Amino acid sequence: MCVRIADDLNLFDLLAQHSPRTTAELAELSGAEEGLITRLFRTLVGMGFVSQPDPTHFAATPVTRQMTQPSVRAGVKFFYDQGYPVLEHVPAYFKANGYRLPRTMTDGPFQFAHKTDMVCYPFWAEQEGVMENFSVFMQGLFGTPMRLGWADWFPVKEVCLDGFDRAKGEYCFVDVGAGKGHEAELVLKKYPDARGKFVVQDLGFVIGDITELDERIERMAHDFTEPQPVKGEIDIAIPSPYHVTAIELPTDTSPPLSAGARTYFLQNILHNWTSPVGHTILTHLKSAMTPGYSKLLIGNIILPERDVPLRNSGLDIAMLFLHSGMQRSEREWRELVEGAGLKVVKVWYPGGDGDGIIEVESSL
C-alpha cells in the first residue's frame, strides 16, 4: 500500500532525480501533506525502497531507481489494483469449493471475487487503462529488467533462425500472444540479417493498440485458443477451451500440404491457463507445425522439484488466483507438452530464477 501510494505521488522519481530531499521538499513537489510522506517513508525505509541518511532527509536506493522503470511500476500497479481485490476472497473461495483447485477457466478465485463467469482478460479489457498498463508491465520481461533476457543466453540463431528454408514457407518467427511485439523486435535487433517473415499475434484490441513496431514485423490479430493461421494444411477440430476437461487428438496424421513457420514462440503464456486450455493451445500449434522443420519455444518459469525460489512460488500462487493457471516444474511441462502429441527436445535453464525455455518439435 505504501509503495502504491508513493508511486502515485511520483516520490520515487523525485528522489531518483535528486537525493537526498527533506519531506518538506517532497510535500511541496508532490502536493501531499508532509505528515503522510513521513509515515509512508518510515515503512519504505524498512523495506529498502528508500534510505534515510539523517533524521531530516531521505535518499534513493537501487530499489528506488527500479521503481522508476515503466515496466516495474506497471507491475506494482497491476498486482495491487487487480490482484489484491481477488486475493482477499481466496480463502473463502477454497472453503466454499472444498479446497479443490479450479477445474475450468470460469470457476476460479477471480470469478468468485468478481461474481462473473468471464475470464480475466476480457474482464480487464472492459476497464479503462488496465490492459494498456498490463502491456507495459509485460514489455519489461515480467517487470524484471535486471534479469537476463532469453535471447541473451539462449542460442536463438542456431535453434530458430539458421534452419529457415524459404522453399518450405515464408514465415520464420511467429510470436504467439505477443503483446506489443517486444520479443520479436528483440530477436530482430540482435539478428538483423534474419531471413523470412516475422509476425506478432495477439487479440485484435492489443494489436490495434500497437503504436511503434519494427516495420519488418507483420501484425496479425489472432486468438491462440483458435486454429493457428500460419500453418501447414492440417486441420484439427477442437472444442471451445474454457470449459473442457479433455481433448482427443485426431487419428489422421497425414503430412501437411505446405510448411508452417520455422519457429513459434510462446513467452509467458501457458502459465495463465489450466492444463486443458494449455492442451488446446498446444494442439492448435501442433496442427500448424511441419514435422522435422518447425520448432516451438515455450518461454516460462520452470520450477525446481524442491526449494522453489520465493519469486517463482509467489508467481505460481498469483497465476492460481488470477487465472486459475499455474507455473510448472520440468515434469509438469513434459506432461503438458507430450499430452498434446508434441516432443520435448531439450529443457534449457538460465542462471538464477529467471525463465527457462522448453524446446519442442512435432512428433508426427
Selected catalytic residue, list 271, 279, 284, 323: 271
Angle 170-140-191 (CA atoms, 0-180°, nearest 5)?
Answer: 35
Residue with cell 487487480: 82
Per-residue pLDDT at 141 = 55
Same domain, 161 and 303: yes
Is 271 one of the catalytic residues? yes
Alpha carbons 349 and 70: distance in angstroms, whole number: 27
Whether residue 94 is contained in a domain is answered as: no
| CATH number of the domain encompassing residue 174 | 3.40.50.150
Whether residue 316 is contained in a domain is answered as: yes
Alpha carbons 269 and 357: distance in angstroms, whole number: 12
Whether residue 242 is contained in a domain is answered as: yes
Query: Computed from CA positions of residues 25, 30, 36, 42, in that sequence, does the dihedral angle turn out positive or negative?
Result: negative
With 0.85 as the threshold, say if the pTM is over it.
no
As for how many domains the chain has, the answer is 2
Last residue of one domain, picked from the residues 44, 66, 88: 66
Same domain, 173 and 37: no
Last residue of one domain, picked from the residues 66, 89, 118: 66
Whether residue 29 is contained in a domain is answered as: yes
Per-residue model confidence as pLDDT tens for the chain (364 residues): 999 999 999 999 999 999 999 999 999 999 999 999 999 999 999 999 999 999 999 999 999 999 999 999 999 999 999 999 999 999 999 999 999 999 888 999 999 999 999 999 889 989 999 988 988 888 775 444 456 778 889 999 999 999 999 998 999 999 999 988 989 999 999 999 999 999 999 989 889 989 899 999 999 999 999 999 998 654 444 444 444 333 343 444 443 335 799 999 999 999 999 999 999 999 999 999 999 999 999 999 999 999 999 989 999 999 999 999 999 999 999 999 999 999 999 999 987 767 899 999 997 6
Same domain, 41 and 155: no
Whether residue 277 is contained in a domain is answered as: yes
Same domain, 161 and 43: no
Q: Look at residues 232, 122, 130, 134 and name the one whose alpha carbon lies nearest to residue 174.
A: 232
Q: Look at residues 148, 224, 138 and name the one whose alpha carbon lies nearest to residue 190.
A: 148
Residue 254 lies in domain = 150-362
Same domain, 170 and 285: yes
First-to-last C-alpha distance (Å) of the chain: 52
Whether residue 118 is contained in a domain is answered as: no
DSSP for 184-214, written as a single string:
HHHHHHH-TT--SEEEEEE-HHHHTT-----
Whether residue 41 is contained in a domain is answered as: yes
| CATH number of the domain encompassing residue 17 | 1.10.10.10
Same domain, 41 and 169: no
**Alpha carbon of residue 178 to chain centroid:** 9
Alpha carbons 50 and 288: distance in angstroms, whole number: 50
Alpha carbons 203 and 88: distance in angstroms, whole number: 30
Per-residue pLDDT at 364 = 63
Same domain, 50 and 161: no
Same domain, 213 and 335: yes
Same domain, 154 and 56: no
Whether residue 163 is contained in a domain is answered as: yes
Same domain, 51 and 162: no
Alpha carbons 256 and 253: distance in angstroms, whole number: 9
For 309, residues 6+ apart whose C-beta sits below 8 A from its C-beta are: 353
Last residue of one domain, picked from the residues 66, 98, 113: 66
Alpha carbons 333 and 328: distance in angstroms, whole number: 6
